[in-house]
Amino acid sequence: MTGFALFIAVFLACAVEAVEATTIVLAAGTARNWKSALLGTASALGLLALIIALFGPSISGLPINSLRVFVGTLLLVFGLQWIRKAILRSSGFKALHDEDQIFQDEMAQAGKAENNSKFGVSDWYAFTLSFKGVLLEGLEVAFIVLTFGSIQKDVGLASIAALTAVVIVVIAGAALRKPLARVPENTMKFIVGIMLTSFGIFWGAEGAGALWPGKDLSILGIIAFLLILSYMLIFWLKKVHAGIGQPHKLEVDFDEADEVAVLADRGALKALKAFGYFWYDFLIGDDLIGTALVVIALEATNLAFHSGKNCWWILPLAVAVALIRNLRKISISQ
């Protein structure tokens, strides 16, 4: 993986997260109090910097094969969720992500919340909404930077790519003072999902002992494989969706918005449950059987390696099976 490829992969992934975080901060500042919203943002960034400083060296210090398996598995879990949601959006089974509508919804919720002052912060709701929104999206940015940077032994370049993406998005958001609705986020999420999953397959199988034909160039083959598979699934699901007779509508995906809204709620139990679900979804994903298939495939690849066989194809096959199985289950349930 060249430095340019590393930069582009991290830049695109972090840009998506930055758009979502910026939307939340803009809503908190516009509807409530800019000083409190910016204070919450700064506090979250400070905590993220501490997390990276504490855990970055630990991740980078793992043996290279263990690091590849660990990073590959997490990227697969992470990327497959993005691909699956992109396929469902493209085929009509899931609402399209609309930052403008999410901004309006966040504004409405913020406007209804009580105005309380705590710990010297004039608007605690605006502080909390910004802090938790930036923290959740920022954790994903930190994960992307640390995993890609550690594998390529260039955390510095990955950090520059992430910082560039965040700065561009924040400047655009500050200049427009509205959500970046014109950013093709659904397309970006699909592209990033393909890239994360492709690198996850490559690094995971390599860490388990597989030798890829063509070495690093095989990443291009994996990307092509996932693109073909995804478009075939979109074509199939569109036909299924048309047969159901439901009209295709441009609706809103409130996944991130709902999560942050619950975390911003003053109920400690709700916030704790939502934060726990975030980590479960982050580390395991929303398809437990699919994640289990990935782990089994990695173990099978490693067993084949120890028996003298090079079974690089096991993990891509398992990913395809997991993706098809999950989408078929969703289509049948409609």
- The string of pLDDT tens digits covering residues 116-128 is 676 677 777 788 8
Mean pLDDT across the chain, nearest whole number?
A: 79
> Higher confidence at residue 295 or residue 184?
295
Give the domain extent around 131: 3-333
Q: Is 325 exposed, middle or buried (0-12, 13-18, 19+ CB in 10 A)?
A: middle
What is the torsional sign of CA 148, 154, 156, 158? negative
> Higher confidence at residue 17 or residue 252?
17
Residue 320: which pLDDT band, with cuts at 50, 70 and 90? very high
Say what the pLDDT of residue 85 is: 87
Q: Are 255 and 262 in contact (CB under 8 A)?
A: no
Residue 249: which pLDDT band, with cuts at 50, 70 and 90? very low
Report the candidate in 102, 276, 65 with the shortest Cα–Cα distance to residue 181.
102
Q: Is the pLDDT of residue 300 over 90?
A: yes
Q: What is the DSSP letter of 216?
A: G
For residues 93-107, average pLDDT: 64
- The string of pLDDT tens digits covering residues 37-72 is 889 899 988 888 887 777 777 766 667 778 888 888
Q: Are 322 and 231 in contact (CB under 8 A)?
A: no
Domains identified in the chain, total number: 1
What is the DSSP annotation of 313-334? THHHHHHHHHHHHHHHHHHHH-
- State the Cα–Cα distance between residues 76 and 47, nearest whole angstrom: 26
- State the Cα–Cα distance between residues 26 and 106, nearest whole angstrom: 9
Q: Please name the residues in contact with 327: beta carbons below 8 A apart, sequence gap of 6 or more.
A: 84, 87, 88, 233, 237
Say what the pLDDT of residue 103 is: 59
